[in-house]
Amino acid sequence: MYCSDCGLKVLGSLEAKGAYNNYFNNTVNVKFGDFENTYLWNSSLTEGTNIIGGSYIGGNYWAKPDGTGFSQTAIDANGDGIADSAYAISEKNYDYLPLTAKYNPVLPAFDFTANVTSGTAPLVVLFTYTGTGETPTSWLWNFGDGITSKHAQTATHTFTKTGTYNVTLTVTNAAGSNSVSKPGYITVTATSSAEKPVADFYSPEAEKVLSGINDQGIFENEVISFFDNSTGSPSSWLWDFGDGNTSTEKNPTHAYGKIGGYTVNLTVKNAAGSDSISKYGYVLMGIMDEAATPAYFSSDVTSGKVPLTVTFVDDLDAELPNYPIWREWDFGDGVIQTYMVDANDSATPYATHVYEKPGKYTVSLYMDNRGGKSIITKYNYITVTAPEAQVADFSANVTSGAAPLVVLFTDTGTVEAPTSWFWDFGDGINSKHAMNATHTFTKPGTYAISLNVENAAGKSTVTKPDYIVVTDPAVTSSSGGSSHSSSGSSSGGGGGSPEPAKNVEVKELSQTFITNGKEVKFDFSKNATCVVYVSFDAKRTLGKTTTVTEMLKEKSSLVSELPSGEVYKSFNVWVGNGGVASSKNIENPAVCFKVEKDWIQDKKVDQSSITLNSYSEDKWGQLPVSLLKEDDKYLYFTAETPEFSSFAITGKAKSTLGEAETGVKLESETRMVNETDAGSKGPEAEQETDPKESASAPGFEMLYGLAGLLAVFLYRRR
């Protein structure tokens, strides 16, 4: 009807089947009369050119002159021209398939970088594209030396000649091409003709002690000289005197503050490269009257936590006539051990010491044998650290969401060798002896979580107040309006999963609209998992919703253990975001799954024992199943489930099932149902034998067993 202040006015008295594939562009697009009926504002999704040139016919295009109309701002993540969420025209009227504007590509905005921009030839440079926004379809690099590279988002190029080079990158997408050029970006110079140095040095004072010329030896705090004797014209020097002190002078001097044997290192550099030399036990202090030599020792460990026990051993051969007659160990923490030899027995080459405090310790060994004296010092040889604090801690994969909210808690504490865990979920439910725990919060509220971890040293407890926030699903879920998540999914969500990706063998997604009062079925037509479909009856309109099935490599990380029996497959089912598949939103949930006949045969599984197990509240529960149909490869079953979460398909081997007293195994019947009544359960008859009658009738057991055999034979011939 004509309307001067709107696009379309609908009177309550009018009877209309609906309006779709229209273009609305008004400040107010639709008004209703005094009495508002419910009308259909979209057709079913059909291939064809719609009113704005899109590929699908569905609902209407809702625009406003100022560009803020629903169709002008709605998200269309898959680019099919249909918005990811429904449009609420009023409280009673919805367009469930609103159209969106056609995709218009734009030129890419970008830049590029290089890991180096100058150096000697040949110079290898890695160029990296750093664009933002829409990804280009091709890249063309021009390196300025007559060489180009196509179709590479990053490019590596070697500049073989000296010079300065302009580098240009041209990128292309559906909107066209764009270029960035950097003049003089790469500078290549000639290779240096300098000779790589060879490190060497000497100290006159140290050399005299080693040769036995200096009878007095080197005293504590005596200044001695070091001279660079390197070739190749070094331009820099780095001296390490072996006692924690260094120098960058060419010819430094140094005074040692404590008797010992010190290893000296020198590193020299120039434009052509670098070289290092190390002289073990070069400066020997505390030895006089004769030539000295370095000693050698090692230890079983060089680092650890307090208290740290270290066993040191003298690595020299103690053969006559040069076996040691005296050893002195200085452990660097104020403790010195001395071993003397009286006769021809060598002192023990071992020394054991316990470090009681954290720190770095310098260890020295002094030796005297009948062939001379030895000494060596190893600076900061032993590193002792404080023990880590025994602190309990945990994390959760989610901390908020709508009820029922499934949360995976993970122990992240530093308690060593824990022996037990006790989780308190704040809702009156506890879990014992599980390092990682999965819990379902069924009621809205704010929950404090506590974890108590115990080991041989004691207990550690952590409590996190208000850690989990559970909301009412009626508040969290949209009623079909224009709200949507940042990922572009509808109010039904995208099917988020707490299962670690590394445990998922394969997953499949299915998407459909959820409308109040309608039966909803998510078909998994790619047959990627063992799930054929999931279904339920909708109690609320939730819009476009995604359901995810995950077939797992191992047991789900959300369960503590697998159910009993032969396990065929473990899988998860997630319907929308947390809280969508609650009893307030859906009813009569069901799962259809398939089992390979080859598995049944290989595992010798009794077909009638196949069942679907559902994990809830830290335990498994068996769900009654009905055989839906079969083909050459699979048996297809359906099962009603109280919720969608973690499942496991199991069966029992025939050898493990109970047998009748006659020794003959009686197989129970698996009921066949049609597709149309897959959800019905039907009555199950059960017969019992009065034990008194059985006892009073001799031979009755045998007759009953024969009757059972006859029943099985007749059943199998049907």
Tell the residue number behind the tokens 């025939």, with chain if given: 654
Give domain status of residue 713, yes or no.
Answer: no
Residues 480 and 467 in one domain: no
In order, the DSSP letters of 696-716 are HSTTHHHHHHHHHHHHHHHHH
Cα–Cα distance, 421 to 433 (Å, whole number): 5
Query: What is the spatial order of strands in the sheet that 148-150 belongs to?
Result: 118-120, 176-189, 163-173, 138-142, 148-150
Those residues with Cβ within 8 angstroms of residue 51's Cβ, 6 or more apart along the chain or in another chain: 21, 22, 23, 60, 61, 99
Which domain-ending residue is among 343, 360, 385?
385
Q: Are 621 and 559 within 8 A, CB to CB?
A: no
Q: What angle do CA 54, 55, 57 make, to 5 degrees?
A: 85
**Structure confidence at residue 108 (pLDDT):** 77
**Structure confidence at residue 649 (pLDDT):** 97
Name the amino acid, one letter, at 526. K
Residues 5 and 75 in one domain: yes
Stated as kind and residue range, the H or E segment containing 206 is helix 204-211
Cα–Cα distance, 540 to 515 (Å, whole number): 6
Residues 164 and 40 in one domain: no
Which of 153-157, 491-495, 510-514 bottoms out in mean pLDDT, i.e. has the lowest?
Answer: 491-495
Q: Are 201 and 266 within 8 A, CB to CB?
A: yes
What are the beta bridge partners of residue 445?
Answer: 470
pLDDT at 434 over 90: no
The residue that leads in pLDDT, 262 or 542, is 262
Name the amino acid, one letter, at 312. F
> What are residue 32's phi and psi, to 5 degrees?
-115, 155
Cα–Cα distance, 286 to 374 (Å, whole number): 10
Evaluate if pTM is beyond 0.85.
Answer: no
**Structure confidence at residue 472 (pLDDT):** 81
Those residues with Cβ within 8 angstroms of residue 315's Cβ, 6 or more apart along the chain or in another chain: 296, 297, 298
Q: Are 185 and 191 within 8 A, CB to CB?
A: no
Residues 572 and 670 in one domain: yes
pLDDT at 534 over 90: yes
Give domain status of residue 690, yes or no.
Answer: no
Q: Are 527 and 631 within 8 A, CB to CB?
A: no
Give domain status of residue 218, yes or no.
Answer: yes
**Structure confidence at residue 219 (pLDDT):** 87
**Structure confidence at residue 599 (pLDDT):** 94
Name the amino acid, one letter, at 661. E
Cα–Cα distance, 13 to 35 (Å, whole number): 8
Closest CA to 363 of 299, 305, 408: 299
pLDDT at 123 over 90: yes
Give domain status of residue 565, yes or no.
Answer: yes
Closest CA to 488 of 105, 82, 104: 82
Residues 608 and 634 in one domain: yes
**Structure confidence at residue 342 (pLDDT):** 54
Those residues with Cβ within 8 angstroms of residue 290's Cβ, 6 or more apart along the chain or in another chain: 212, 372, 373
Closest CA to 266 of 318, 329, 211, 199: 199
Residues 58 and 79 in one domain: yes
Which of 382-396, 454-468, 552-566, 653-667 bottoms out in mean pLDDT, i.e. has the lowest?
Answer: 653-667
Residues 57 and 140 in one domain: no
**Torsion on CA atoms 711, 714, 715, 718, rounded to nearest 10:** -170
Residues 534 and 446 in one domain: no
Which of 197-211, 232-246, 308-322, 535-549 bottoms out in mean pLDDT, i.e. has the lowest?
Answer: 308-322
Give domain status of residue 564, yes or no.
Answer: yes
Burial of 682 (0-12, 13-18, 19+ CB in 10 A): exposed
> What are residue 619's phi and psi, to 5 degrees?
-155, 160
pLDDT at 191 over 80: no
Q: Are 513 and 544 within 8 A, CB to CB?
A: yes
Kind of pairing between the strands at 163-173 and 138-142: antiparallel
Which of 126-130, 211-215, 484-488 bottoms out in mean pLDDT, i.e. has the lowest?
Answer: 484-488
Six-digit token pair at 211?
């040769």
pLDDT, tens digit, 9 for 90 and up, residues 320-344: 345 566 788 999 999 998 877 654 4
Q: Are 214 and 284 within 8 A, CB to CB?
A: no
**Structure confidence at residue 338 (pLDDT):** 84
Residues 431 and 499 in one domain: no
Calculate mean pLDDT across residues 73-95: 88
DSSP state of 38: -
Cα–Cα distance, 261 to 376 (Å, whole number): 4
Give domain status of residue 207, yes or no.
Answer: yes
pLDDT at 608 over 50: yes
Which domain-ending residue is among 167, 189, 211?
189
What are the beta bridge partners of residue 310?
Answer: 353
**Structure confidence at residue 645 (pLDDT):** 86
pLDDT at 76 over 50: yes
- Using DSSP's 3-state secondary structure scheme, residue 475 falls into helix
Give domain status of residue 705, yes or no.
Answer: no
Could you tell me where the beta strands, DSSP code E, fall in 519-630?
Answer: 519-523, 531-538, 543-552, 566-575, 586-596, 611-616, 619-623, 625-630
> What are residue 381's phi and psi, to 5 degrees?
-70, -35
- Using DSSP's 3-state secondary structure scheme, residue 211 falls into helix
Which domain-ending residue is among 356, 385, 414?
385
Which of 100-104, 280-284, 583-587, 703-707 bottoms out in mean pLDDT, i.e. has the lowest?
Answer: 703-707
* Confidence band of 635 (pLDDT split at 50, 70, 90): very high
pLDDT at 62 over 90: yes
Domain span at residue 584? 475-677
**Structure confidence at residue 387 (pLDDT):** 73
Report the CATH number that the domain containing residue 127 is assigned in CATH: 2.60.40.10
pLDDT, tens digit, 9 for 90 and up, residues 463-493: 999 999 998 876 444 333 333 333 333 333 3
Cα–Cα distance, 480 to 486 (Å, whole number): 16
Residues 263 and 324 in one domain: no
pLDDT at 501 over 60: yes
Give domain status of residue 691, yes or no.
Answer: no
% of the chain with per-residue pLDDT over 70: 80
**Structure confidence at residue 190 (pLDDT):** 84
Q: Are 253 and 225 within 8 A, CB to CB?
A: yes
pLDDT at 692 over 70: no
**Structure confidence at residue 353 (pLDDT):** 95
**Structure confidence at residue 133 (pLDDT):** 61
Residues 319 and 444 in one domain: no
Burial of 254 (0-12, 13-18, 19+ CB in 10 A): buried
Mean pLDDT, all residues of the chain: 82
What are the beta bridge partners of residue 679?
Answer: none
Those residues with Cβ within 8 angstroms of residue 602's Cβ, 6 or more apart along the chain or in another chain: none
* Confidence band of 17 (pLDDT split at 50, 70, 90): low
Cα–Cα distance, 167 to 527 (Å, whole number): 50
* Confidence band of 212 (pLDDT split at 50, 70, 90): confident
**Structure confidence at residue 473 (pLDDT):** 75
> What are residue 667's phi and psi, to 5 degrees?
-90, 130
Calculate mean pLDDT across residues 252-263: 92
How many structural domains is the chain composed of?
6
Residues 277 and 311 in one domain: no
pLDDT at 226 over 60: yes
